[in-house]
Structure 1
């Protein structure tokens, strides 16, 4: 949900040509063999409810190549942080950030798989993505 929420926010501000936005898992739980699972159906429904376009995204695992390629690797919770930093050798370039640490309410994004509260997760994603975009634009324009 986070990838497409952020893409939608960036697109609404006519900034899509300035960003490359992708998502990847920090574990292989959603990847069977070489084929990742699609977006969880209730998450798809949440995106539809908010008129956010999405594609047939399949889970992949984040890699050290992703770390080299991207400026920001944003994770949702402390469990993701542990896995991500293991994969990227401890984050020596300080590129890994918890999404809601960009907001006035730093905390983990609750996983709706466990909570069942897709609306709260969506609201957290919107808040975090808006705050992240503001920070990036300030840095680019500053």
Structure 2
């Protein structure tokens, strides 16, 4: 089983969107039983809060199913539990590398190779964030399907 943990700052916009987009992709391909997918935050600001309503509306618009959830912060045990820890932007990546300075198992990666995922918390552009996240999830699914 491939275990993926998506990471953003608060775990209420980008990382849960990535979680549910990836869950839909693996479901469509009929390989849900081969993946375990979650999301978490680098910060404590939104702990316990559900996904931000505009993020839910974007997933509704794109017909991506989701469930009620509670934001949580990444913890040390997550490094051992997950095969891939995927950050949304350079800020998240810096925080991940501070938290896990010795990524000896090479588990920490950005969602997109050459740029950060647009942060809709600041831009209010959930469409652009969705496009970035979808693009990254498709590429990761293809990569993981060929490994």
TM-score by length of 1: 0.89
**Equivalent of 2:138 in 124, 130, 140:** 130
Which whole-Å CA distance do the structure 1 matches of 2:92 and 2:102 have between them? 13
CA contact (8 A) 1:27 1:83 kept: no
- Write the deviation string for residues 25-82 of structure 1: whole angstroms up to 9, x where unpaired: 0111212xxxx11100000000000111101111001111111011100000011111
**Equivalent of 1:16 in 25, 32, 35:** 32
Structure 1: any 5+ residue segments left out of the alignment? none
Per the alignment, residue 52 of structure 1 pairs with 64
Deviates more, 1:9-18 or 1:78-87: 78-87
Where has structure 1 moved over 3 Å in runs of 4 or more? Answer: none
Per the alignment, residue 108 of structure 2 pairs with 96
Number of residue pairs the alignment of both structures matches: 131
Which whole-Å CA distance do the structure 1 matches of 2:62 and 2:34 have between them? 24
Which whole-Å CA distance do the structure 2 matches of 1:76 and 1:117 have between them? 15
1:84-123 alignment to 2 at 5 Å?
84-101=96-113, 106-123=114-131
Which whole-Å CA distance do the structure 1 matches of 2:99 and 2:19 have between them? 20
Answer with 1 or 2: which has the greater Rg.
1
Which whole-Å CA distance do the structure 2 matches of 1:83 and 1:29 have between them? 15
Q: Per chain length, whose mean CA-contact separation is higher, i.e. which structure has more relative contact order (CA < 8 Å, sep 6+)?
A: 2
**Equivalent of 1:78 in 55, 77, 90:** 90
Q: Aligned Cα RMSD in Å? A: 0.9
TM-score by length of 2: 0.86
